[in-house]
Each structure stands twice: as C-alpha cells, then as structure tokens.
Structure 1
C-alpha cells in the first residue's frame, strides 16, 4: 500500500519511516511504500483519487474542505497531534514579532496547506487585516529556502519546524506565531483513509493504524533514533533537526490533559467545539458534525 507523509519529509513525519524501519508494518502483514505528501488539500485529493490509502492531514483543513463541499469520500481514523501545530514562521530582522506585524508582508506556502487556507480565520481572531498580507506559492521542500534567502518575510509551517528553519537560516533566530495562540481547541494532523476502505477493509485499517501509532510513540520516545532513521531513508533530511522536531512534537502528541496515555485518540466533543469555532468565524457553513468526519469504530480508544 502507499502512504503519503503530511508535508514533505521532515522530522515531524519521521514516525512513518520509523514504523517501516523497525518492522512494525511488516509485523502487521503490511508492505508500505512511503511517499512525500504535499499538504492537506493535495493529500485529500490523492486519497480520493486512489493514489494512496492513508495520509495525515490537518483536521481543521479537512473541515474547511468539507465545509466547501469537498473531501466527501475520506474519513478520520486516528489522531496524530492532539492540538494544532499550524504556525507562521519568520526570522529575526524581518519585522515580524506579533500577528499585527504580518500586515504589509509577503508570505509563502503551498496552495493546499492548512496554514494558508486557515489564515483568514487566524487573522480575524488575531486582529490582522488579511487583505494586507500577500501570499505567494511555494513547494513544501522550497519554503524554508525562500525564507532563508530573503525572498519572503514568512512561511506557513508547523511549530516544530523551528529547528529545521534555524538550521537552514544559519545565524538567524526563528520567530514563531502559533495558530494555537488564538485557536486552542483545534486538533493538529489526523490520519485519514477513504470511506470505502474504512467500511470494507476495517481489519486492514486497524492493522495499519496500530503499526503507525507504534511508530509515532517510538519516534517521540526516541527522537535521536527517529532522526537517524529518517536520514538513512531520505538522505536529503538532516538527522539533528529531525530529532529536534520529534522532541518538540511530543508535547502535541501527548499534551497535558489529553485522554489517557493512548496515542491516536479523538475526542468528538473537542471536534464539535472546533466545528463551532469555524462556523462562528464564518469559515464553514452550519451542518457539519463530528460523526460525518470520524470513523469511531476505527479510532484508538483511551
């Protein structure tokens, strides 16, 4: 089967490579081909088109897509990050220290990224005039280079991307504006598959979910090893920044107050609160409910 990472091959996605390298997929009777994903919008399209069977996408991005009539044939089967890691990252000297400073600046991200698509809602809640912020397109692998090279003042990234940004922009400190500062209830990445697989191949889905979650736990418990495994499989990825991303991601996978110690759970009440937040902000129309998004039979239980 084919699996897409969430966004390129950064440390935050190393857990899939860990699951493969450590034999967790093989032990579950699975032969998994891992390919780099292109962000929430692109990944949803590829899952629906049958180009892959599983991928992580940002839950808020999925809600935004469903709210505009898309993503009808996918379903959430596990949580990866219990709160959103979406953020904007800039560098010292670019004149960005707080959200209001984004006005008049140029930012880069891929068109399907949840950071970019959620920006109007973030801007509204953070008191930013979104019409005064210019966005340009950038491929996942090129975003940090655009920022380090001075082509743009900021990029869409995950909070855990800070070490990787600083490793490329040598000598400059990253400035991070987390979306969770104004949208604390939002989940981060969740694992999706097609509604067809969830209904017709639940055993396959459960085996894949269990093996991937085992890789996720191992990567945040052993970040240095996860970084080495990623670099071994994807030589263009440096192990040290990848390990640092895994270390930072641990707080999002197992945040304080999360349900039990089981990784991958989804709290439908929190999802309902997120839906309401987006509806109140005018980002999605009324009518969306958690049961339309989540396969409760497949998600890990606390």
Structure 2
C-alpha cells in the first residue's frame, strides 16, 4: 500500500521558507513570495458548500491570522458544491477550495481535468441523503418513488447511481430537482421534497431549521473506502507555484485543527462573518466532523491521502460504470504537494 503522509507544519515554519529563483532552468519558476516577508499574495478561497459549521475552519484561519502569517491576503466566498467549485477553480475565478474527492473523480472522468488535490480535509466521505422523520425514509429502498433536491454538481447527486446499485435500489425511480446550496434545508422544511443531498454533519442544522427529527442514509454504509472533502487548486497553480500551495495548505489545515479543538469559538467566528449562523448548530457540526477528519485508529495525520485507498475508490466507480478505465490516483492528486512526514 502506498501511503503519502506529512506531519502538519506550523505557520512559523512555513513563513521561514523562501523561494530561490533561477536555480535551474529545469525547475518551474516560483512566481510568488508568500510568507517570505514581501507583499501578501491575494488568494480567493471558496467554502465547500455555503457557510455552515463544517466550513468554519476557513474563517478561523482568516480570523486567527494563519493565512496572513503564511503570506496570504485571503478573500472567502461561498462555494456551491463539488461541480460548481471545480468549474470556478478551472476558470481561474478562485484559487483554492474543498471538493468531495469522489465527486472530483467523477468530474475528471467526464473530461474536466485542470484541477488537482493537494490535501485531505476528511478521511471518510460525509455524503448522505437527508430527510426528516415524517417522510419515513428509513432504508435505501424507501427512496424509490421519492423526490430529492440538490445542486446539479453535488457529489451526493452524481454518486447516487453507484450508491443505488450497491444498495440494490432502482435509481431511475428516484426524482431529482435542482436546489441552491444555501436553500436546500429550507426546501426540505417546506415539505416540497422528501429529502436532500447533505453531509451527515448537517444533522444539527437540519434539526434547527426544520424543527423536525433528521434522518440520514450515509453513503459510507456502502462505499467504505471513499474520502470526503479534499483541498484542490488548479493544475496551473500547482505546477507554477508549488511553495505557495504548500504554505496555503499548511495555514488552512492549521485553521481546521484549531476549529476542531475549539468548536464554540469557531462557531462564533463563523457567525461574525455569516450572521444567520445558529452557533449551537455550527458548533455541533464541527464536533461531529472531528471523527471524519481524524479517523479513529487509522494512524493518519490531518491532511494525508492514501493513494491505495483512492485506487480502490476508482475501481468501485469503474465497476459501477461511472468512471472510464485508465484513471489513476496520480492523475487527480499532486503527490509531491501532499502533506508528508
């Protein structure tokens, strides 16, 4: 098994790294000086999906000065899920964002290839179908004949055929309708749909908004090797600015670890930047997410990616007919930029 790991570097060490220009004509020229004491590098970062507790760590890295210490002036914008975020990164309208790795593989298989993963956010997928107890969706079979809502590019929606095949249900009997990331839970509350695509850590927020008991069908029940969110950037940035990528990754992961260690403070920081935030729900989301970021007993450090696991995920998707043959982990993961020991 090939395992690519790295001990998380503190921002003080990251800021000490300096780029030596012109060392060799064979090396890519580093075109920024993030963290070297010069002008701050302007970066646009997208959250994974709206502004919920699960994405508070980006705001924490900004508020606590982790980005600035690493040499970045960061603007945070709301993400729209895997498909939309990849499009924004590839178009050059943003520089970094978390996406679901499996959703990224599906997009890669469809021909969108100008992005690359540089670190893991969650070691296990959090993708799920969410509903409320009054809809009586207790098993995958209960989804047949139901209407679900999600963004068109969501990993939950795009991965559904594979989930349905493994769960032995007819995915053609499930109707999907489009919904905006920020409004999905509100749509569920209206009762106009039976369920929505959502991450399992969304349970506290769904309960707060719908005032009903949430129910979940986690994809991890059938897809055990899948990673959750990973941090991506464009292939261009990864090739031309490797030191910038490493420093940004370290600063963001520092925010992630701080948010998980201090969920109440992280929720307060999120509310400061997103006033509609229900702090109790945001705090609970972070507490639930901790076990996905630090998978118990795995021995993995925060941010690491095991390419052997990714290869198994690719094989599952190929077996379900959702990925073409010939795709390897290294085509979507920048192994040299991943956190290492």
Give the structure-1-normalised TM-score: 0.98
Which runs of 4 or more aligned residues in structure 1 lie more than 3 Å from their structure 2 counterparts after TM superposition?
none
Please give the root-mean-square deviation of Cα atoms over the aligned residues, in Å.
0.8
| Aligned positions of 1:242-261 closer than 5 A | 242-260=282-300
Partner Cα separation in structure 2 for residue 177 and residue 196 of structure 1? 37
Aligned residue for 1:89, secondary structure, equals strand
| Aligned positions of 1:221-260 closer than 5 A | 221-260=261-300
Kindly indicate whether the alpha-carbon contact (under 8 Å) linking 1:74 and 1:192 is maintained by their aligned counterparts in 2: yes
Q: Structure 1 residue 200 and structure 2 residue 200: aligned?
A: no
Partner Cα separation in structure 1 for residue 324 and residue 71 of structure 2? 42
Aligned residue for 2:337, secondary structure, equals coil
Partner Cα separation in structure 1 for residue 135 and residue 272 of structure 2? 35
| Aligned positions of 1:145-224 closer than 5 A | 145-170=186-211, 172-224=212-264
Partner Cα separation in structure 2 for residue 258 and residue 59 of structure 1? 19
The CA deviation at 1:178 is 0.3
Partner Cα separation in structure 1 for residue 283 and residue 292 of structure 2? 15
1:35 pairs, out of 59, 77, 84, with: 77
Partner Cα separation in structure 2 for residue 196 and residue 124 of structure 1? 36
1:273 pairs, out of 291, 301, 312, with: 312
Deviations 1:166-221 (A, max 9, x none): 00111x11001100000000000000001111111111111100000000001111
Structure 1 equivalent of residue 88 of structure 2: 46
Structure 1 equivalent of residue 145 of structure 2: 104
Deviations 1:23-49 (A, max 9, x none): 100110111000000010000000000
| Count of aligned pairs | 299
Aligned residue for 1:255, secondary structure, equals coil
Partner Cα separation in structure 1 for residue 297 and residue 101 of structure 2? 19
Deviations 1:148-181 (A, max 9, x none): 11111100000000100000111x1100110000
Partner Cα separation in structure 1 for residue 109 and residue 226 of structure 2? 16
Aligned residue for 2:134, secondary structure, equals coil
Computing the radius of gyration from Cα coordinates, the structure with the larger value is: 2
1:125 pairs, out of 166, 191, 208, with: 166
Partner Cα separation in structure 2 for residue 208 and residue 135 of structure 1? 37
Aligned residue for 1:26, secondary structure, equals helix
Aligned residue for 1:87, secondary structure, equals strand
Kindly indicate whether the alpha-carbon contact (under 8 Å) linking 1:259 and 1:265 is maintained by their aligned counterparts in 2: no
Q: Structure 1 residue 113 and structure 2 residue 157: aligned?
A: no
Tell me, which stretches of 5 or more residues in structure 2 are unaligned?
1-42
Tell me, which stretches of 5 or more residues in structure 1 are unaligned?
none
Aligned residue for 2:137, secondary structure, equals coil
Kindly indicate whether the alpha-carbon contact (under 8 Å) linking 1:6 and 1:57 is maintained by their aligned counterparts in 2: yes
Deviations 1:85-126 (A, max 9, x none): 000100011021111000011000010111000001101111
Kindly indicate whether the alpha-carbon contact (under 8 Å) linking 1:86 and 1:180 is maintained by their aligned counterparts in 2: yes
Aligned residue for 1:77, secondary structure, equals strand
Partner Cα separation in structure 2 for residue 289 and residue 239 of structure 1? 41
Aligned residue for 1:76, secondary structure, equals strand
Deviations 1:235-286 (A, max 9, x none): 12221111100000000000113334x2100000000011011111111111
The CA deviation at 1:233 is 1.0
